[in-house]
Amino acid sequence: MRMHFYVGLLVGPFILIAALTGIVYVLTPSIESWLYRDALTITTPGTSQPLAQQIETAQLVVEQDTLPAAVRPAPDAHSTTRVMFADPMLGASEHRAIFVDPVTLEVKGDMTVYGTSGILPFRTALDQFHRALLLGDVGRLYSELAASWLWIIALLGVMLWVARRRALNSASTQMTARRRHATVGVLAIVGLLFFSATGLTWSKWAGGNIGELRQAWGWGTPSVSTVIETPDAANNDPHAHHDMHADHKMSNAPEAGSYARREGFDQALEAARHAGLLAGRIQIDPPAGEGRAWRVTEIDRRWPTQVDQIALEPRDMQVLEQTDFTTFPLAAKLTRWGIDLHMGVLFGLVNQLVLALVAGALVFLIVWGYRMWWQRIKNTTVNQAQTMTALFIMLPLVIQLSLLVIMVLLGVALPVLGGSLVIIALIDVFRWFVSNKRQDAEIKR
């Protein structure tokens, strides 16, 4: 009860911000589509021009001859093509996107897009606010703090409901308020645990630990390698395929500049279609440098999920490697679906409404919890200095040691939780110390 109270009181505001910003973010896809409709849609459907010509049009806009970092061909007859260029002035996962009418080659828009989902400036700002309050890596502490504690406070709430469900049936005003709070919490528990788990996978510090754990357990999402393994390397080193990394250069590999031309995007698209990548939404990445392959990726994360990838040899567009989502391990599929559910893209509008409903329940729980706390302060004479420290001292030594071990393990796995737990413990110890001093003073009187 004391831990549930402490976390709700001290971490509740951060969880509340995450819930409110999440509601706004998840309900805005339609607004974004309307806001940028001129850049996203075309009015004269017809036969699309080759991607090479569309890229050339985009290059004239950005006034550079370098190839785009990626191209997303128009997914249907009413949409524009996105030609995405790297820009050192932009942040991580951001590109300057030129929106080209594939039929008329008219430039329909020029703006920054973010992430695999390709969200536009309006939702990017909402996403960054939800994730980091627009404060960069420092701001990510807030969202990780919220995600780290949400599952704990939710489970503690369920434990309290189980222990007090008979008392909650009392007709008293106080118990009626608690019953409402508990009922909503129990009904929303699955969604709250889901928010916490998926939110932690994106977090900066705990997310890194989770990523390492996924890789160690084979839960990582399969992805094609764009490093071209030369015959010499393969023959001389049986582990060459596993040892190559992103900046490794091989002397016998073809130079990317010789094969990464505008026409290559059309060839890569055709090769990918022949290889079975049939999703309307795809992204084509040219070779990133010497000894690299083309990569074509399906980016349709709705249901059914289409996220297959293919790596292509630059010289003849032969398939070097391919992944098929239907063959992914179950854990990798669940990870993919969990992230897409959290973003509200897996089942479209239904997904978004359910997320908003659960987040709304979370907002109610926090606000109602503060209301109960305030009513308790005004209407009770119970000693407010009741502390976890006093209760902890009363526990058997075995249980004390077990709790300490659990807290240390949680702190290592979830560093932000660990740091905040130390702060909560120090606050509690201070309150316990002050309370003891007051009691001693009263006794002496």
Per-residue pLDDT of the chain (445 residues; tens, 9 = 90+): 889 999 999 999 999 999 999 999 999 998 999 999 999 999 888 999 999 999 999 999 999 889 999 999 999 999 999 999 999 999 888 999 999 999 999 999 999 999 888 999 999 999 999 999 989 888 999 999 999 999 999 999 999 999 988 887 777 777 888 899 999 999 999 999 999 999 998 888 888 888 888 877 777 788 999 998 765 544 444 333 333 333 333 333 334 444 688 999 999 999 999 999 999 999 999 998 888 999 999 999 999 999 999 999 998 999 999 999 999 988 889 989 999 999 999 999 999 999 999 999 999 999 999 999 888 877 765 555 678 999 999 999 999 999 999 999 999 999 999 999 999 999 999 989 988 888 877 777 6
d(CA 322, CA 341): 25
Residue 394: inside a domain, yes or no?
yes
Look up residue 374 and give its two tokens.
């305030």
Distance CA 320, CA 309 (A): 11
Predicted pLDDT at 47: 93
Q: Rounded to 5 degrees, what are φ and ψ at 108? A: -100, -20
Q: Give me the residues paired with residue 349 across strands.
A: none
Last residue within a domain, chosen from 307, 327, 347 = 327
Interatomic CA distance for residues 397 and 380, integer angstroms: 33
Q: Among 119, 141, 175, where does a domain finish?
A: 119
Q: Which two structure tokens, joined as six digits, stand for 398?
A: 């075995």
Contact 321, 310 (CB under 8 A): yes
Do 311 and 401 fall into the same domain? no
Asked whether residue 111 is domain-assigned, the answer is yes
Asked, as a colleague might, if the bond just before 304 is cis with ω within 30 of 0, I would say yes
Would you state the pLDDT for residue 23? 95
* pLDDT number for residue 385: 61
Domain ends where: 104, 119, 134? 119
Closest CA to 338 of 223, 192, 205, 194: 194
Can you give the pTM of this predicted structure?
0.85
Write the single-letter amino acid at 238: P
Quick one: DSSP state of residue 167?
A: G
Strand residues in 280-355 grouped as ranges (E)? 282-285, 294-298, 309-312, 319-323
- Per the structure, the complete domain to which residue 435 belongs is given by 386-445
Residue 350 lies in a domain: no
Using CA atoms, how far apart are residues 10 and 424, in angstroms rounded to an integer?
8
Domain count for the chain: 3
Residue 195: per-residue pLDDT: 96
Q: Is residue 162 part of a domain?
A: no
Q: What's the CA gap between 298 and 266, in Å, rounded?
A: 16
Element holding 339 (H helix, E strand)? helix 330-343
Whether 340 maps to a domain, the answer reads no
Other C-beta atoms lying within 10 Å of the C-beta of residue 243:
9
In a domain, 160, yes or no: no
Q: Across the beta sheet with 81-85, what order do the strands follow?
A: 107-114, 94-100, 81-85, 70-72, 282-285, 294-298, 309-312, 319-323
Residue 277 lies in a domain: yes
Residue 99 covered by a domain: yes
